[in-house]
Chain A
């Protein structure tokens, strides 16, 4: 179930990236050829950025795509390395918790107040806040599932997958 949601969120992020490209390209072409533009491009791009960056958080965590430094840890015994992976996820849970709390308050406040961006389209502020909250919450759930899953794997004598972690964000560009 969680994997399906992550895949859906990732696909929504892909649509957001396509939206970014189309919106900015259209805006430039309209400016060059018709001396015109898409209204509120900047606001729409900023809102799409939230979707493009935050929605794949859970899928990134699931792929163990968060960048780590392995210089010292790779010299440790395999079992210790596995426990360090669990420790890293626990730190992630702690780091994301304040974002969920504040994200909830921000989303609630913007919906309650009905606040919007000044511009030709008067776009509402809540979609970005809600998307942000969704992305972080699902990432938190994924990390929690990973912590329990990894502990179970270690206890049963198995190995937690550690080799997929990226050394750098550019590795596959």
Chain B
């Protein structure tokens, strides 16, 4: 039986199961197991199922067990724990409060502070939707009560939340690193400048929006003294410290990404206790949430790992590479096509689902064209970020809609998002056209 045909049928079957609301992990694992069994059973030309049982079971077990039985990937539960503990210790929200004070006099200051707050939140938690969810509860009601345009108040946080995937630490970068076998430390460092450029792009969007329509963001009428600014800045030191530990530790060669995760969690716990913001109960609850969340991530990763092994058996990836090479697509055209595929998938699927489904086919293609996998990782994550705010299934938009309830209809949020989407596309083009932007920091280590 033709391996490529089995591979293509399997991809179709996974999509059908996903559409039928089968959990992503189960869909990938079930189809990959069945597909592997079929490939092994037909290996000798005739159907011999008795010869397929043991190798199939062995492949399924080794791929899932070895994935979890990993020292490097212990950074995932640790970074997820960091996000939960830092939130309960009020470390993450202090950045927003500091930005809120510093930008109070700037037109659209609260919206800008929300974006800066999202950037800071991302630098600790590594999650886009968590960022939108948490910051949305804090910033959006404040903007709405201050008389901000509802579209600006919601869209700025939905867009700002996407920074969570690009600014390190990022769960999506870790998963990309697993499947491409690239350095997660280098991926983290590669995301810094594109993350900052994205953040600046969002600030520019707000500035242009408010400059053209001053009524969309009423000016702040209170008084802010230098003392207030100093105090606000001082209060955000724990977040700065954690960011320095993670990025400085990795860049300075003091720690690996895994060690940075452990040290930063320990530091967050210490800070939380010293500042009397944490209790043992809060830590335990945070870690329970961490375990549930990490398990659901790993379950998908394990399903995807089995699926990747199955795809390798079928030989479908080399066939696709051969077909694309034969079509003599130019590198620019290839990247444009890849971007379109990711943007289209981003409208319907969640980021992890997109990544685990596409990477087994994309990576051989990217390697054939000689592109840098670290740079491609940044491009993929940026595309997935854009997918988080693209209609009809922009997850971040739905998160914000859940926060504001009926006060702002979802189509109003999407109409506000369009301006941020435009700047996101420009930043994406910049990242694609200037690989140095992503690679200068990791390759200067």
Contact = CB atoms under 8 A, between A and B. Distances in A.
A and B: interacting chains: yes
Interface of A: 10-11, 13-14, 17-18, 20-25, 27-28, 32, 42, 45-50, 52-57, 59-60, 63, 65-73, 81, 84-85, 87-88, 91-92, 94-96, 98-99, 101-103, 105-106, 128-129, 132, 166-173
Interface in B262-277: 262-263, 265-266
B295 A167 contact: no
A98 B33 contact: yes
24 contacts: A14-B287, A17-B291, A20-B74, A21-B265, A28-B255, A46-B71, A53-B294, A66-B23, A69-B24, A70-B21, A71-B392, A73-B19, A84-B20, A88-B23, A91-B27, A92-B26, A95-B303, A98-B61, A102-B58, A102-B61, A106-B65, A132-B65, A170-B164, A173-B126
Interface string B34-78: 000000000000000000000011101100110011110110011
B315 interface: no
A168 B294 contact: no
B353 A69 contact: yes
A88 B299 contact: no
B81 A94 contact: no
Interface string B100-141: 000000000000000000000000011111100100000000
A46 B303 CA distance: 19
B393 A46 contact: no
What is the predominant secondary structure among interface residues of chain A facing chain B? helix
Interface string B1-29: 00000000000000001111111111101
B78 A88 contact: no
Interface string B250-293: 00001100110111011000000000000000001001111111
A19 B262 CA distance: 10
A88 B61 contact: no
Given A25-B266, A95-B30, A171-B129, 6 more contacts: A14-B291, A23-B262, A25-B263, A53-B77, A88-B22, A169-B352
